[in-house]
Amino acid sequence: MAHFTIRPVRTKADENKFINFPYTFYKADPYWVAPLRMERKKLIDRTHNPFYQHAELALYLAERQGQVIGRIGAIVNARHNHAHQDKVGFFGFFECVPDQAVANALFDAAQQFLHAHGMEAMRGPANPSVNDEYGLLVDGFQASPVVLMPYNPPYYRELMERYGLQKTKDLFAYLLDQETVYTDKLVRAHARVTQRHRLTFRSLNMKDFAHDVQRIKAVYNAAWQENWGAVTMTDAEFDALAHDLKRIVDPDLVILAEAHGQTIGFALSLPDINKALKYNKHGGLLGGMWHLYTKRNQINLCRILVLGVLPAYKKTGAAGVLFFETAARAKQRGYRYGEASWILEDNVMMTRAAEAMHGHKYKTYRIYQKEFEGLTEERLCPTSHG
């Protein structure tokens, strides 16, 4: 076995190596979409990313003969542990050559860090949280990832499972087609639910953006707080996300549902800018802007990123109506396809709504977990192998 080392990321040069690795690792993969490098830097920026006001991050590199052959991050999310009353740490940003020994050493590094910080289990991939790119692609490698969804080679599943990581939850992505999404039954249900609960729908008001963000934030934190693994975002996190999405959002695809003068639900869909960014192989900002401008006519899909209603309206059918309303508005905007992602495998109401609109479950993402047993406190990094 060829010699390799695992070491922590300590310097700016190390961070650049960590960020740059995927751009060389995936350069021959026709399905990978290069994210903007500036966005990757923001994800691990412990000074400016508000997520790290309540979380800790450790990054590790695997190297062989001076070349990076793998990487991983270990994350302790204090808000998660408080919300769920557990001691689960996370791993993320995992990339690795097809070598089980290298993968094992990277997972060991993350596990040792989490154990040293009082965690009793490791869950992931999370890049770096449930509110970011989440899960490992285990089925559906025939298409590029849509905006803000992860991508990885098929063999990562084997690397994780051989290490001892076990499935804890699957996340589904449904593909919807405007040609098959509408039925007379759905049209009647839309009219019935809308009338019964006096629902009205409106687009995001860009002239009153800040106030609409506050309305959406209140619904989001109330609607998702009881979901498996969910962690409500802080005001700083939500505002930072809104600031980033404002640059690419189509206001007609952000729908607020209102009843009796109150915002009771919302649906947020984004144009799949990955359709254009897949040509921007190096992840540069100027290149990304150029491709978004010149290839915007290729963006024929939108991702239904978030859709939900207040707890009091969960059994009223309002969520299904929002699904239907999203499809109708997307059609008006010229989008042929939609991806509803991700949906928890046991979220019966949302899976039924997607299937009622003839959605096709075409991708599956998996969350893995490993309980810690028999660990010592010895530091594992830097470590040499081989």
SS3 content of the chain, % helix, strand, coil (to 5): 40, 30, 35
Q: Do 140 and 193 fall into the same domain?
A: no
Q: Do 142 and 241 fall into the same domain?
A: no
> Residue 178 pLDDT more than 70?
yes
Q: Do 29 and 135 fall into the same domain?
A: yes
Range of the domain at 374: 4-170+367-385
Dihedral (Cα; 223, 322, 266, 309), 10-degree rounding: -20
- As for how many domains the chain has, the answer is 2
Give the pLDDT mean for 26-43.
96
Q: Tell me: the pLDDT tens digits for 123-140? A: 999 999 999 999 999 999
* Average of per-residue pLDDT values in the chain: 93
Give the pLDDT mean for 49-63.
97
Give me the pLDDT at residue 385, please.
76
Give me the pLDDT at residue 183, please.
83
Q: Do 19 and 30 fall into the same domain?
A: yes
User: Six-digit token pair at 119?
Assistant: 């965690």
Give the pLDDT mean for 180-200.
89
Q: Do 140 and 211 fall into the same domain?
A: no
Cα separation of 45 and 56, whole Å?
A: 11
Q: Do 155 and 273 fall into the same domain?
A: no
Cα separation of 208 and 225, whole Å?
A: 26
Q: Do 153 and 254 fall into the same domain?
A: no
Q: Tell me: the pLDDT tens digits for 96-109? A: 999 999 999 999 99
> Residue 227 pLDDT more than 90?
no
> Residue 236 pLDDT more than 70?
yes
Give the pLDDT mean for 78-85.
94
Give me the pLDDT at residue 1, please.
54
Cα separation of 45 and 38, whole Å?
A: 10
What's the pTM?
A: 0.93
Cβ-based neighbours of 294, under 8 Å, separated by 6 or more: 276
Q: Do 114 and 158 fall into the same domain?
A: yes
If pLDDT is split at 50, 70 and 90, which confidence band does 249 have? very high
In CATH, what number is assigned to the domain containing residue 236? 3.40.630.30
Q: Which of these ranges, 157-166, 185-194, 250-259, 296-305, has the smallest mean pLDDT?
A: 185-194
Q: Do 166 and 181 fall into the same domain?
A: no
Give me the pLDDT at residue 378, please.
47
Backbone angles phi, psi at 325, to 5 degrees: -65, -40
Q: Do 150 and 185 fall into the same domain?
A: no
> Residue 376 pLDDT more than 60?
no
User: Six-digit token pair at 100?
Assistant: 């089980």
Cα separation of 228 and 351, whole Å?
A: 15
Percentage of the chain beyond pLDDT 90 is 85
| Per-residue b or e along 83-108, where b marks 16 or more CB atoms closer than 10 Å to that residue's CB | eeeebbbbbbbbbbbebeebbbbbbb
> Residue 182 pLDDT more than 90?
no
Q: Do 218 and 82 fall into the same domain?
A: no
Pick from 300, 303, 308: which is nearest to 353 by CA? 308
Q: Do 41 and 131 fall into the same domain?
A: yes
Give me the pLDDT at residue 380, please.
46
Cα separation of 223 and 264, whole Å?
A: 9
Give the pLDDT mean for 311-333.
91
Give me the pLDDT at residue 373, please.
81
If pLDDT is split at 50, 70 and 90, which confidence band does 379 have? very low
Pick from 108, 83, 80: which is nearest to 94 by CA? 108
Give the pLDDT mean for 171-190.
91
Q: Are 62 and 41 in contact (CB under 8 A)?
A: no
> Residue 288 pLDDT more than 70?
yes
Cβ-based neighbours of 254, under 8 Å, separated by 6 or more: 203, 204, 212, 216, 266, 267, 268, 269
User: Six-digit token pair at 173?
Assistant: 């992505």
Give me the pLDDT at residue 103, please.
98
Give me the pLDDT at residue 375, please.
57
Give me the pLDDT at residue 184, please.
84
Cβ-based neighbours of 105, under 8 Å, separated by 6 or more: 4, 6, 62, 383, 385
